[in-house]
Amino acid sequence: MILFPEGTPRSVIDRAESGPREPATDPTLGIPLPATVASTRSGTPPHRLVVIGDSLSQGFQSFAIHNTDLSYPAIIARELGWQRSFRFPRYRGHGGLPMNLEYLLRVLEDKHGARLDWWDLPLAPFTVHSWMAQVEDYWERGPGSIEPPPGPINHNLSMFGWDLRDSLEWTYDRCAAVLAGNPPGNDLLAQQVEHAALRAALRVYPRATTEQRGMTLFDAARALGEQHKTTTEAGIETLIVFLGANNALKAATNLEVRWSGPGFDQLGAKSQYTVWTPEHFRQEYDEMIEQVHTINARHVILCTVPHVTIAPITNGIGGKIGPRSRYFDHYVYPWVGESTFSSHRDKHLSGAQARAIDYAIDAYNDHIESIVREARADGRDWLLLDTAALLDNLASRRFHEDPSARPQWWTGYELPGALAALDPPLTTRFLAADGHGGRAAGGLFSLDGVHPTTVGYGILAQESIHTMRAAGVRFRDPDGSPRNDPIHVDFDRLILRDTLVRHPPQNIGSAKGIIGWIDEILDLTGTSLAGGVLGTEA
């Protein structure tokens, strides 16, 4: 009998009786489409790829949205030979929004050296505050506060921090109205960009016309779906929908479990909850799926929700809670030392809480899989990308380093050749530097412990490409000539662009220590790197 913490929803306990969810290795779920489906298709839709998602699809990294040309949708578009047509927002100034932790670490490294010694500590806070003030001024009052000219609707319609309800309700007008009603202050003790997510959203949502300014993400995709000629039956070739992670992620980033209750489906009230019950998730997801049904896309890919307790923002300590268990006694922030941990002083999740969160996510993914099954049975070309299974197969401490905890289905993930050749091997551990200009550990997750590095996004792009090929999507060279299978992401290019993998900041020989130190400083200004950065204000 599995024991769960008091207050765990009955639906989560019931889901646990079936055991952990097994992955779906076949994107089609073994359900072939009628031959008549192919006969209705003609030509190539003008919008070859449209993505609706959250931070994982927008390209968030190290607490900032910055290099959006390296998001996994942008990587896919390049492999499609369609990169020059793929439209996405850009956030170039000062490392992006809200605060690029890699940039900050490098500023500290330039100012105080690769090792932050005790005699630097009195001066280092001034460096942090000075840099943060520059970032704040740039986005609130400087060039970053000026919106670029409106253009055609973006193909990457993804927004960091957005959960299912956010994706259904926010529009350009709504974001702009909140910002207009809350002009930025100039609090010297709170030098973070205010309403950073809403500022970022202004570049995502369409705004060329009055009608567009009232569009949700799904309205925008629907408009793209209708943009086609009689030579083809749909405006969008492949629509990827990757939403739902933020309906559980706050439990990991805040290290606090607050199950959804009244107001879970309201923009303002929902902020009090960190993880949705399976019933509430299904209700929100079904409302979203109603919108997806109205979008004219040839292929639709739904992505499962990753198990958020695998991300290294939650560091398991104290040993496993039982024989063959995948869960540790406690989960803390990666900068909290096991030898100094205090359950009375340090925020943490228990192993039982982490298990409850995972079973809730299993229930989410059961539902997503059932939606794809139903769609395919009805003759719609929908597919499943099991991103939860992808992360499970990559999980270092949960499975790679503990064979006794591996379920029967676990196979591990075979890294592409260019990534497998890297030394030290890439893992899901928190990124660490070796003190000599290189990397000592990690490499798949960026400095926020939640979002992938550039090569990590490349892996997600590669799995998306496999799913698209299962649907028959053709990949082409930039000159239009077709590519032959297998279609491989250019990982050599991504490695060259991945500064965290090639030469991470060397501060204190490990990014883990400096991030903990910065987190303490930012707590003095009322900001929590681990929790508040990813949220939004309604």
Q: Flag whether 3 is in a domain.
A: no
Distance CA 14, CA 42 (A): 46
Residue 122 predicted with pLDDT over 80? no
Q: Flag whether 504 is in a domain.
A: yes
- DSSP annotation of 147 reads P
**Mean per-residue pLDDT, 89-117:** 88
Nearest to 157 by CA among 69, 281, 240, 238: 240
CA distance readout (Å), 447 to 359, 394, 395: 27, 18, 17
The token pair at 117 is 């010694």
pLDDT value of residue 108: 87
What percent of the chain stands above pLDDT 70?
92
Distance CA 504, CA 432 (A): 8
The boundaries of the domain holding residue 71 are: 10-534
Q: Flag whether 257 is in a domain.
A: yes
Say which residue the tokens 């309906």 belong to.
Answer: 247
pLDDT (tens digit per residue) in 470-504: 999 999 988 888 999 999 999 999 999 999 999 99
pLDDT value of residue 528: 39
Residue 251 predicted with pLDDT over 70? yes
- Confidence band (pLDDT; 50, 70, 90) for 519? low
Judge whether 252 and 356 are in contact, CB under 8 Å: no
Residue 123 predicted with pLDDT over 60? yes
pTM over 0.85: yes
pLDDT value of residue 190: 60
pLDDT value of residue 512: 58
CA distance readout (Å), 291 to 168, 228, 252, 317: 8, 19, 29, 42
- DSSP annotation of 378 reads T
CA distance readout (Å), 433 to 127, 256, 423, 504, 505: 21, 29, 12, 6, 7
Residue 92 predicted with pLDDT over 90? no
Q: Flag whether 2 is in a domain.
A: no
Q: Flag whether 327 is in a domain.
A: yes
Higher pLDDT, 220 or 132: 220
Distance CA 58, CA 29 (A): 27
- Confidence band (pLDDT; 50, 70, 90) for 538? very low
Q: What are the DSSP calls for 209-255, one per residue?
A: SHHHHT--HHHHHHHHHT---TTSS-SEEEEEEE--GGGTHHHHHTT
- Confidence band (pLDDT; 50, 70, 90) for 405? confident
Q: Flag whether 232 is in a domain.
A: yes
Say which residue the tokens 């929004």 belong to.
Answer: 97
pLDDT value of residue 537: 42
pLDDT (tens digit per residue) in 346-399: 889 999 999 999 999 999 999 999 999 999 999 999 999 999 999 999 998 888
From the DSSP assignment, how many helices (H) and strands (E) are in the chain? 20, 12
Residue 536 predicted with pLDDT over 60? no
Higher pLDDT, 75 or 2: 75
The total of other beta-carbon atoms located within 10 Å of residue 395's CB is 24
What is the dihedral angle through the alpha carbons of 419, 422, 425, 426, rounded to the nearest 10 degrees? Answer: -50
pLDDT value of residue 113: 80
The total of other beta-carbon atoms located within 10 Å of residue 54's CB is 24
Distance CA 374, CA 367 (A): 11
- Per the structure, the count of domains in the chain is 1
Judge whether 73 and 85 are in contact, CB under 8 Å: no
pLDDT value of residue 40: 86
Judge whether 529 and 101 are in contact, CB under 8 Å: yes
